[in-house]
């Protein structure tokens, strides 16, 4: 597995790390990526992965992969496996440093007893509704629980009985004794442990009480000797509790540093909402190529290097912002332009018969597999009397700037001959154009242009009917029809799903040379965009191609209606 060591862009976190190393506060850098295994990772997590692993690699430290598995009701082994696959796919290796909060359940429980013994935590019997009422609001102070004055001895006895399973779920909790009047609601005697009978993916039924995330997070950081605990901005108000717990327990105290999370247009980043889209079958699964999940982007053909470039390009700051989807797609185009072999594909075929070309004859044209990389070699493209072109490359009444095919017009077949449209055949019932009858200029093969012949402006792609490989092509676009679906307050976000985000073309064709294409392999279909072999539905005898991105951003700037090179 590779270890990307490109220096993360200069930012305030790098400044802190370099000051800590220079002062001798730390001799090495230890970061962690701590996902909760209750869903699949999305592009927002990629920013955190690249930041944590990137900094550790750059400063020759280490980054831990730690699963914060403190809520067995929502956690599944499927999610753990998917998270590991995504981090590996992005190019990062945690080596021997894979951990779980559940590894520390005994130690965390010991910390809980310590807090009780020190008079800094107590068992509370308030119901969840009563606790919410006692908590107060941002403008009014909270009210102390009647159980707050319980002695350490009584609370310790109750805590041990909670662990032993004597009490019903939800009947009691362990709370920190801090300050019910604090302006920070997170310090108003937060819950540290709750009773929850649920089978844990790793510990089974060994525990019936589980630590809250805020309690397990900081103490796990401490146990692993994390030097810089990087969190997104929503955890800024939780930092005082993080600090209070480390100080109260008198344990090693990592430094929590917050940075702005990634928000991307035309999608949602809430795992709850993404789970709803999956469960309600608005998408085909977590790896649906329309989803902002890393597994979805992998299936769509986004290179991991492009995602790393994107995360580096957007930078790390302290203020939330929204990044346009086009920035990510530009990174994908840049990488695929360098790496994807070229091929021709016809998505909406229109048959063309070249009437003056000999029947039964076949010839081959040679084209580069990649115009900028001679090492990729060449490919051969068969040509015959009957070919397919894309329907979009013909118009019966073309406007002035339409440089493709029309009645009486000439166009060059890419790598092939110049042809002229002589006759248009239509369905007698529907009136739909079903075939073109054309003639070719035999002197123009392979791009040749005889002296004195007028240059032809239009160039279109094509395929020989007898040799074309039938495939299915899926055209993917933005998941939502508005840039900020979460910001539309008067409508359910599901109403804003883009009905045109997926178009399946079951009657498409590609060059015959693609017959052996591998699962996940990417190509540029010339003039059309970048496509990859679907990793789930594609079969050796029936390839399925997913469009990764168009050749240029067509969402906000419609592509020209004239000829495309």
The candidate with the shortest Cα–Cα distance to 45, out of 286, 326, 340, is: 286
Residue 34: strand, helix, or coil: coil
Catalytic hit among 36, 154, 363, 386: 36
Give whole-number Cα distances, 394 to 429, 461, 565, in Å.
Answer: 20, 12, 16
SS3 annotation, 37-64? CCCCCEHHHHHHHHHHHHHHHHCCCEEE
Query: Would you state the structure tokens that stand for residue 418, as one six-digit string?
Result: 């110049």
Query: Would you state the structure tokens that stand for residue 35, as one six-digit string?
Result: 């996902």
SS3 annotation, 125-136? CCCHHHHHHHHC
Known catalytic residue: 397? no
d(CA 391, CA 264): 34
Catalytic hit among 271, 379, 404, 527: 271
d(CA 369, CA 517): 14
Taking the chain, what is the end-to-end CA distance rounded to the nearest angstrom? 38
CB 136 within 8 A of CB 188: yes
Residue 392: strand, helix, or coil: helix
Residue with tokens 């676009």: 477
Neighbour count for residue 123 (Cβ, 10 Å)? 22
Q: What distance separates the 2 farthest-apart alpha carbons in the chain?
A: 103
The candidate with the shortest Cα–Cα distance to 89, out of 306, 312, 336, is: 306
Half-sphere exposure of 109 (CA within 13 A, CB side): 19
Known catalytic residue: 261? yes
d(CA 530, CA 521): 11
Torsion of Cα atoms, 447 then 450 then 453 then 456, to 10°: 0
d(CA 124, CA 137): 20
Catalytic hit among 14, 202, 261, 369: 261
Known catalytic residue: 271? yes
Q: Which residues are catalytic?
A: 36, 261, 271
């Amino acid at each position: 597995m590779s270890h990307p060591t490109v220096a993360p862009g200069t930012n305030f976190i790098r400044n802190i790390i370099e000051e800590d190393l220079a002062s001798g506060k730390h001799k090495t850098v230890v970061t962690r990526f701590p996902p909760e295994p209750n869903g699949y990772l999305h592009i927002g997590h990629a920013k955190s992965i690249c930041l944590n692993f990137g900094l550790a690699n750059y400063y020759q430290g280490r980054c831990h992969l730690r699963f914060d598995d403190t809520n067995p009701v929502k956690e599944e082994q499927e999610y753990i496996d998917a998270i590991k696959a995504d981090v590996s796919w992005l190019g990062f290796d945690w080596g021997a440093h894979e951990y779980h909060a559940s590894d520390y359940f005994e130690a965390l429980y010991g910390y809980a007893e310590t807090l009780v013994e020190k008079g800094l935590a107590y068992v509370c019997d308030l119901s969840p509704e009563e606790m919410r009422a006692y908590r107060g609001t941002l403008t009014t102070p909270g009210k102390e629980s009647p159980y707050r004055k319980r002695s350490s001895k009584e609370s310790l006895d109750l805590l041990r009985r909670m662990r032993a399973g004597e009490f019903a779920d939800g009947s009691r909790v362990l709370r920190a004794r801090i300050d019910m009047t604090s302006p920070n609601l997170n310090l108003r005697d937060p819950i540290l442990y709750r009773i929850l009978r649920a089978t844990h993916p790793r510990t089974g039924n060994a525990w019936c009480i589980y630590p809250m995330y805020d309690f397990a997070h900081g103490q796990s950081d401490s146990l692993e000797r994390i030097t810089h605990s990087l969190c997104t901005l929503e955890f800024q108000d939780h930092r005082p509790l993080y600090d209070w717990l480390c100080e109260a327990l008198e344990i090693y105290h990592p430094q929590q540093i917050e940075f702005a999370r990634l928000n991307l247009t035309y999608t949602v980043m809430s795992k709850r909402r993404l789970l709803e889209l999956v469960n309600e079958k608005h998408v085909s699964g977590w790896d649906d190529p329309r989803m902002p999940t890393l597994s979805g982007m992998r299936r769509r053909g986004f290179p991991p290097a492009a995602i790393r470039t994107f995360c580096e390009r957007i930078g790390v700051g302290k203020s939330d912002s929204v990044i346009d989807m086009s920035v990510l797609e530009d990174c994908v185009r840049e990488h695929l332009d360098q790496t994807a072999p070229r091929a021709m594909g016809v998505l909406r075929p229109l048959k063309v018969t070249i009437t003056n070309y000999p029947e039964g004859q076949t010839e081959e044209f040679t084209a580069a597999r990649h115009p900028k990389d001679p090492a990729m070699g060449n490919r051969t493209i068969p040509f015959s009397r009957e070919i397919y072109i894309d329907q979009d490359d013909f118009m019966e009444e073309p406007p002035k700037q339409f440089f493709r095919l029309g009645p009486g017009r000439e166009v060059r077949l890419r790598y092939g001959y110049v042809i002229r449209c002589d006759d248009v055949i239509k369905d007698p019932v529907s009136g739909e154009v079903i075939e073109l009858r054309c003639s070719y200029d035999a002197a123009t093969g392979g791009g040749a242009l005889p002296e004195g012949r007028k240059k032809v402006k239009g160039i279109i792609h094509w395929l020989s009917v007898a040799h074309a490989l039938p495939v299915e092509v899926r055209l993917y676009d933005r998941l939502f029809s508005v840039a900020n679906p979460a910001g539309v307050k008067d409508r359910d976000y599901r109403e804003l799903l883009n009905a045109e985000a997926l178009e399946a073309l079951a009657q498409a064709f590609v060059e015959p040379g693609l017959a052996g294409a591998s699962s996940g392999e990417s190509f540029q279909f010339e003039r059309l965009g970048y496509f990859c072999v679907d990793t789930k539905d594609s079969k050796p005898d029936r390839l399925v191609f997913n469009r990764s991105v168009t050749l240029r951003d067509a969402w906000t700037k419609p592509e020209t209606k004239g000829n495309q090179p």
